[in-house]
Each structure stands twice: as structure tokens, then as C-alpha cells.
Structure 1
Amino acid sequence: MSEKMIFSVLSIVGKLGSALNEESLHAILPEEMKTTDLKSRLNTMESSGKISRLNELIVPHVNPNQFSKNKKLSRDLFKSNKRYLKLFAQIPWVRYMALTGSNAFESCSKNDDIDLFVICAPKRLWIIYLTMTILGKVFNKRPLFCVNYLIDEDNLKLPQQDYYSAVQFYKMKPLFNAGFKQKLLIQNKWIAENLPNASSAFSTEEFYRLRKDFTGKATNSRVWSWLNKKILDFYKKRWTRMYPFQINKNILIDEGLAKLHRIDHSSIYDEIL
């Protein structure tokens, strides 16, 4: 792998306001590479002035102090809203919840929101989405919580299969039931193909760990399934009217899938790589 490719990956992460240590950088490289070879390349790049190190972090030559500031902002944002995330976790049929985007990379700016990825029981996705939306409004936190990717247990195969998506899913921070991240990797072999150096072992970082006290069972109640379908129909009509040019592109809506990214950073990845 060329130094140019290594620098490109560092530049992507840096442009999004984050930085990586050697282990994390190795995990998201798009080509296979031995750790010893990476270490050697990084030493050469540091000697030539292409990169610098901030404690364990490797950064291209941008403002290195910004990374520490962004990490603190990210953790403060999570800590100050942890009680609401705990409430989301107790919603029946929620199986897994994780931070994504700038929250997962700990690259938040002062006015960032909280991006969430959710896995739920079959035929309950839209009930959960509506419940989270209502709770956000009740606590005057609706703009803060972006529940922008939900799938159910019958739809673990992800539709957008590229390097950008592989990095996003690999770097997500589980809040509870971290084992579902392993299930995602098994069901989506393309993630390992895009990230050949990535480890298959996942755990929940202690700072971001939430406790889920209640687990609702996916009963065969026709009432719940009927309600789920009605909510889906409502949102499908609403978003098709509001965002006609993004439906079936950035916005994907189905019974077991809600991908609601009107804007993502895939263009940054494409531009730099």
C-alpha cells in the first residue's frame, strides 16, 4: 500500500475533525497490510514531515489541538444526554443501539447532534421510530437526536455496500448488546472485504456503556403489526412529498429498514480517495 493511500485515509478522518491511533488506522485501511509495514511507513512519513503524532494519535498537518477539543466535546455531549439515551434503550423491542458519525469518531463540534443506529424486533421498527421522535419532542430534544438508521432483525443485510459505509459501521460505538455488531459483520461480508485488516472482535467501550433493563418480546399481535404498517405508510407519503429527489437514494424506507440520511459524507471519501 502506498503512503498516498495511508495519507488519504488520515486526511478523510482529519477533514471530519477526528484522528486515529495506529490500531484504528490499520483497521480501516482499504487494502491488506501488515502492522509492521504500516509502522515502518508511518515512521517514514513522520520523518519527512507529512504527518505528526499527538500522544498516540496520528494526524496530517492540521491543527492537532482541535482533535483533543473535539473528543472532549463529543464525550460531554454524550454525558449530558445519557439519561435520554437510557430512556431510548428501555423502549420495548429495541435490541441494539449505537452512536455513529461524528459521535462514533469523537469528532463533534460545539453544535453537533447525536446520530443513532438502531436494531429492533421484526415488524416494530416504525413504532420504535415514532416513539423516539415523540420522546425527543417531549423533552425538547427532537433536533438533537438523529435516529437516522434503523433496521430490524430480519433485515441485517445493509443496502449501501461501499468503503464509506464499511468504515461507518465498523467504527460505530455500541451502547448495549455489542454482540449485534458481530452479527452485522457476519451478515455483511462486504465490510470485511472493504476493511481487510479489521478485527472481528467487538466490545462496548465502558464510557459509552448503557444498561438495558427491559426487553420486550416480538409477539405476533396483529394490532402492533397493523400499527407499524400504518406508521410506515404515513412517513413514506410524508417524506416522498418533502424529499422527492432523495427517496430511494439517501433515504430508503421499508418495513424493516429506515435509512434517513439526507446528507452524508460519502462525497468526501470519494473526493479524497
Structure 2
Amino acid sequence: MPVQPEQSIIKALAYFDIFNYPLTQEEIISFLDQQMGLDDVAPALQRLVAEKRIFRLGNFYSLQQDHALRTRRTTGNHNAELLLTVGYKVGGFLYQFPFVRGIGISGSLSKNFADQDTDIDFFIITSANRLWIARTLMHLFKKLTFITGHQHWFCMNYFIDEAALRIEEQNIFTAIEITTLIPVCGNGTMDAFFKTNNWTACYLPNNNFPKSSLIMIRHPWYKKAAEWMLNNRLGNILDNYLMKLTTRRWLQKEQQGRLNMKGERMSLRSGKHFSKPDPSYLQKRILDMYKQKVDLVIDPASSVLTSFSG
């Protein structure tokens, strides 16, 4: 198929426009849905700016002609640098829990942005068939962090184990989340995760996986001891029990329409090898917003007709 840089550029900007986040030229290239380089992108950007289909805000590009977005982004990038130093230390600490095999930083912080409300979100890989033991121990510890007011440093939202490294939902949302994930600890597990999810190249062919060096931490004696005691039939029974107990409690929360501290609906999709936010909520909402924005910007007439026919 012929390269269409203008449409690909608009799609990349449209996704991050959902979050009011303008992109640099280099970032645009990395988030394109077609494989192309600077020779294609630079002149296309100039044409789009000249036609006022997109706007240049200093070193950034956006669908909005709002220079406050540039200030917001630069401030957010500075805040992220400071918060990431905390994130690496917290990730190194979490890696010492039993059966934890990989730690990554996700969410807005992994996109190099933080404001006063930003949490440190962690993506966690555990040993096969021990996810629920690891998750329970980590969340019991998190309850203690409310005493000191540091609970926002320990947002452990997404767990998978080594038996299920491949992400089930494959779309632009999960592709961006995976390729922007910042590896913290792993000793090979994070590399295996990225290789298993190389399907992201279908959505982001220009995007290389993170090159950040991991914090290499040896497993402490108490982690080894706990794993030795539970690498048996008792561990299997306990892991299954904790999975059923947690799933039952979260189902009650969903039925009650409980909201988290950010006012978002609480949801959990769980199984033997994973524990993650239900994709039918936030993920679906972002994908729907993205589609609407792309339709509106690329083909406004079609978008209007669709809204009338709906």
C-alpha cells in the first residue's frame, strides 16, 4: 500500500490528544501505524501545519491550537523525571516480594508525564501459578502505606504470570501501553514479555521496545525461603483459594457500583494467570474516543453523516 504520512500523523496525534498531550516529531514517528522515516514525516508535518490541520507548539505538534498544552507537557515531563526516581526505588522494593519475577512502570508516568494527581502504576509478572499469593502479599503491604499517605506510590494494577505472558487484547491501546512500559526489574522476564508480545509491531511498526537498563536485584534469603515453603501442593491450594476469595470480593464491589478514589468504576478481570482492570471499561472508553476523534479529524463529513444515521 502507498505510504500516507498525513493520515498516520493525524492518527498518532489524535490518540494522544485524548490526554491533551502534544508530541514531538520523533514521538510522532514512533507512534505511526505505517513504517516510515523522517524523510516522509518532516515534509508531511510542514504541509499539515500550513493547511492548519495540525498546529505547532514550540517543539510539539497537536490537533489543538492551544499553547497552554506545551506548558502543561513540559511541566509534566519535569515532574515525571522526579517521580520516576521514586518509581525505580519502589519497583526495586516490590521485586523482593515472593514469586515476583518482573516489574514495569506503566500508566501516564511511563509516557513521561506526571501532575499532582499522578500515581505510580506498576505492571507485575509473577512465577507461574503463584500470582495470587504474590498479589495478596503485595496488597496487604499496600494497606500499610495508607498510614503514611504513600499509597499512590504502590498502584499495582496489572498482574500476569510467566504462564501467560501474551496479552490477550490486541489493539492500539494495549500496543501503546506495552511499548511505553518502562522495565524496572526482571532478570530476563521482562525481555521474554516483550518478545512474546511482538505483535505490537502490527500497530506501531516504528516503535522499538524500551532500552532502559533494569535494576538487577538478587532474590533475598526471605524471598527464597518463602518460595521454597510454598512451591508444593500447599502453595497450589493457597493460590487457588486466594484467587477465588479476591474474585468474589471484587464481584461484590462491581455489583455495588463502587468507585475508586479517582471516581472511576472499580472492576477486575481475573483468572488463574492474570489479574487486570476489566477492558470493557477504561480501555473500551479510550478506544471509542480515539475512533470518534480520528473519524472527525480525517473525514468530518463522514462523521457527521454517521452521527445523523445513528
Q: Same fold (TM over 0.5)?
A: yes
- Once residues 199 and 121 of structure 2 are traced to their aligned partners in structure 1, the CA distance between those partners, rounded to angstroms, is 23
Letter in 1 for 2:179: Y
Q: CA deviation at 1:120?
A: 1.2
| Aligned counterpart in structure 2 of residue 51 of structure 1, from 50, 55, 71 | 55
- Of 69, 76, 85, the residue aligned with 2:82 is 76
2:306 alignment partner in structure 1:
none
* Separation in structure 2 between the aligned mates of residue 159 and residue 30 of structure 1, nearest angstrom: 20
In 1, distance between residues paired with 2:91 and 2:195? 27
d(CA) in 1 for partners of 2:181, 2:41? 23
Matching residue of 1:227: 238
Letter in 1 for 2:113: S
2:10 is matched with 7
* 2:270 matched residue in structure 1: 253
CA-based RMSD? 2.8
Residues 54 and 130 (structure 1 numbering): CA distance in 2 closer, same or farther, change over 3 Å? Answer: farther
Contact 2:92 2:185 in 1 (8 A): no
- 2:289 maps to 1:263: no
Number of aligned residues: 265
Matches within 5 A, 1:90-129: 90-129=96-135
Indicate yes or no: 2:210 matched with 1:202.
Answer: yes
Q: Which of 162, 167, 179 does residue 176 from structure 2 map onto?
A: 167
Percent of paired sites with the same residue:
20
1:16 to 13, 16, 19: 19
Structure 1 length-normalised TM: 0.84
Shift of 1:110: 1.0
Among 83, 87, 90, the alignment partner of 2:93 is: 87
Q: Which moved more, 1:263-272 or 1:36-45?
A: 263-272
Which 10-residue stretch deviates more, 151-160 or 70-79?
A: 70-79
Query: How far off is 1:15 after superposition?
Result: 3.3
Deviations 1:98-139 (A, max 9, x none): 111211112222112121111111111111211221222222
List alignment gaps of at least 5 residues for structure 1: none
Query: Any unmatched runs of 5+ in structure 2?
Result: 258-266, 295-310
- Check conservation: 1:120, 1:150, Cα contact below 8 A: yes
Residue 238 of structure 1 is matched in structure 2 by: 249
Instruction: Specify the SS of the correspondent of 2:151.
Output: coil
Higher CA-based Rg: 2
In 2: Cα distance, 1:53 partner to 1:104 partner? 22
- Whether the 8 Å contact between 2:95 and 2:103 is mirrored in structure 1 is yes
Pair 241,139 (structure 1): closer, same or farther in 2 beyond 3 Å: closer
For residues 53-78 of structure 1, the C-alpha deviation after alignment (integer angstroms, 9 at most, x for no partner) is: 544x4444332111011112223333
Contact 2:123 2:157 in 1 (8 A): yes
Task: For residue 225 of structure 1, give the secondary structure of its aligned residue in structure 2.
Answer: helix
